[in-house]
Amino acid sequence: MSQGQTGAEQRLVTPGMAVGPSTGKRAGSGIIATEDTFIATQLGWLRELNNTVSIDPINAAYMPRSGDLVVGIVAEVRNNLWFMNINGSFQGLLPMSLAPWKVEFGAARQHMDVGDVVLARVQEVDECHNVVLTMKGVGLRRLNQGTVESIPVQHIDRVRGANNERLQRLRDATDCRIMVGENGRVWIDGSADGVSLARHALHAVSKEAHSKDMDEILNEIENKKKGDA
Amino acid sequence: MGGYGDVQLLRDDGTRLDGRKVDEMRPVTIEAGVLPAADGSAMITHGLNVAVAAVYGPMEAHPRKIQRQDRAVIDVRYNMAPFSTSDRIRPGFNRRSREISKVTADALESVVLVERYPRSKIRVEIEILAAEAGTRCVGITAAAVALADAGIPMRDMIVGVASGKVEDTVVLDLDKAEDNYGQADLPVGILPNTGEIAFLQMDGDLSPDEYNLAMEYNFKAAKEIHEIMVDALQRRYQGGEA
- Asked whether B147 and B135 are in contact (CB, 8 A), the reply is no
Q: CB–CB of B193 and A16 under 8 A?
A: yes
Which residues of chain B make contact with A216, given a CB cutoff of 8 A?
242
Out of B151, B233, B241, closest to residue A60 by CB: B151
Report how far Cα A77 is from the mean position of its chain's Cα atoms: 25
CB of A18 within 8 Å of any CB in chain B?
Answer: yes
CB of A59 within 8 Å of any CB in chain B?
Answer: yes
User: How would DSSP label each residue in chain B?
Assistant: ----SS---B-TTS-BTTS--TT-PPPEEEEE---TTSSEEEEEEETTEEEEEEEEEEEE-SSGGG-BTTB-EEEEEEEE-TTSSSSPPPSS--HHHHHHHHHHHHHHHTTB-GGGSTTEEEEEEEEEEE-SS-HHHHHHHHHHHHHHHTT--BSS--EEEEEEEETTEEEES--HHHHHHSSEEEEEEEETTTTEEEEE--EE---HHHHHHHHHHHHHHHHHHHHHHHHHHHHHH-S---
Q: What is the pLDDT of residue A9?
A: 57
pLDDT-based confidence at B99, cuts 50/70/90?
Answer: very high
The neighbour count for residue A196, using CB atoms within 10 Å, is 15
The model's pLDDT over B148-203, given as tens digits with 9 standing for 90+, comes to: 999 999 999 999 999 999 999 999 999 999 999 999 999 999 999 999 999 999 99
Across the strands, what pairs with A144? none
Q: CB–CB of B148 and A4 under 8 A?
A: no
Q: CB–CB of B69 and A128 under 8 A?
A: yes
- Asked whether A52 and A25 are in contact (CB, 8 A), the reply is yes
Q: How distant, in Å, are the alpha carbons of A61, B19, B74, B101 from that of B150?
A: 8, 37, 14, 19
The model's pLDDT over B75-89, given as tens digits with 9 standing for 90+, comes to: 999 999 999 999 999
The model's pLDDT over B39-69, given as tens digits with 9 standing for 90+, comes to: 999 999 999 999 999 999 899 898 989 999 8
Which residues of chain A make contact with B61, given a CB cutoff of 8 A?
none
The predicted complex's ipTM stands at 0.89
B242, HSE (Cβ side, Cα atoms, 13 Å): 11
Give chain A's domains with CATH numbers: 12-57 (2.40.50.100), 69-142 (2.40.50.140), 147-228 (3.30.1370.10)
Which residues of chain B make contact with A14, given a CB cutoff of 8 A?
148, 157, 229-230, 233-234
Out of A16, A154, A209, closest to residue B157 by CB: A16
pTM comes to 0.88
Q: What is the pLDDT of residue B44?
A: 98
Q: How many residues does chain B have?
A: 242
- Asked whether A64 and A122 are in contact (CB, 8 A), the reply is yes
- Asked whether B190 and B218 are in contact (CB, 8 A), the reply is yes
